[in-house]
Amino acid sequence: LQPLRDLFDLNYLKFVAETYCPSREPRSPTRDCMRYVLSGGGKRVRALFCLGMADFYGAPRAGLRGAVAVEMVHAYSLVHDDLPLMDNDDWRRGRPSAHRAFSEVTALLAGDALLTDAFSVLSDEHFFPWDQSLSIEAQLLSVKELSMAAGSQGMVLGQDLDVFFTGQSSASLSDVEVVHRHKTGALMGAAAALGAIAGGATLREIHRTRQFGLAIGHVFQLIDDSLDDISGTGKSCGKDASQGKLTYRSFMSADEIRKRAKGLTQQALDEFGLTPENQLFSFIRDLVFREH
């Protein structure tokens, strides 16, 4: 996926930031904050997953809009996740989190705007350089895909349950799976499905792709849990345990999590029918077995 990585480099996101939240007058703290967030890097795995899937279905560049939109929704989710009223995290991507660099109200608004603007990106006719245009039907399917994944049936539900279970010792392993499949799986499922839509996949293929992405997103969050108490992630260290978060670490060791992650990943790859010859295969392996 190296050519796609090169296409979707940090400069591309900076360009998106400057286009959607320009630094020109009127000066706006919210737009400054959006540019700060969008140019903060991150691994951009959702974007690459989307582009990789569009490539899998034969039209890599058509995935660009979906890639940008899903990264914007993801960025908003992180900005709100870090707020004092949620996870209260001061660090994100190796820098002060948005509300620390700006203010709580600005971070709140920047998150709102990133979420909303993501849907302009999906349905914008003219904006994207290197993009292949999407049919109106594909745009509509994409808007539905991302809104379902982000809202009260997807990521927001997951975050709600995450907050609800915090400090509750009676939660079970199946509770944590439900939380993770929603708070992280849903958006990863949408990333994959947006790529499939852009690549011209059938409705059946889009569904299968979403299920695959969801399973991979669940594993991605397992690994995130296992890395919470190591340094070098660009985030604060050991906060899940100190805040009484419901994570896989509440039930097993980091090694056991990795073993489980391996099994779940293999199962997802088999079900989707992705073989090692496909370039998405090693992308998925690197994504879920990352060390930081």
Give the count of residues interacting with ligand IPE (CB under 6 A): 16
52 touches ligand IPE by CB under 6 A: no
Helices (H), 57-172: 64-82, 98-101, 104-123, 136-150, 155-165
Smallest separation (angstroms) from ligand IPE to the CB of 248: 11
Among 68, 138, 155, 190, the residue binding ligand IPE under the rule CB under 6 A is 155
184 binds, among Mg ion, ligand IPE, none (CB under 5 to 8 A by kind): ligand IPE
288 touches ligand IPE by CB under 6 A: no
Sequence-distant (6+) residues with CB within 8 A of 105 are none
Among 87, 117, 124, 145, the residue binding ligand IPE under the rule CB under 6 A is 87
What three-state secondary structure class fits 92? strand
Among 16, 37, 42, 108, the residue binding ligand IPE under the rule CB under 6 A is 42
Scan for tokens 């060791």, then name that residue: 253
43 touches ligand IPE by CB under 6 A: yes
- Residue (30 or 184) nearer to ligand IPE, CB: 184
Buried b (16+ CB within 10 A) or exposed e, 197-235: bbbebeeebbebbbbbbbbbbbbbbbbbbbbbeeeebeb
Give the C-alpha separation, 146 to 191, whole Å.
8
Smallest separation (angstroms) from ligand IPE to the CB of 226: 11
- Tell me which residue of 177, 184, 165 sits closest to 81, measured CA to CA: 184
150 touches ligand IPE by CB under 6 A: no
* 8 Å CB contact between 37 and 98: yes
Query: Which of 6-14, 74-82, 114-122, 250-258 is the region at the interface with ligand IPE (rule: CB under 6 A)?
Result: 74-82
Smallest separation (angstroms) from ligand IPE to the CB of 88: 10
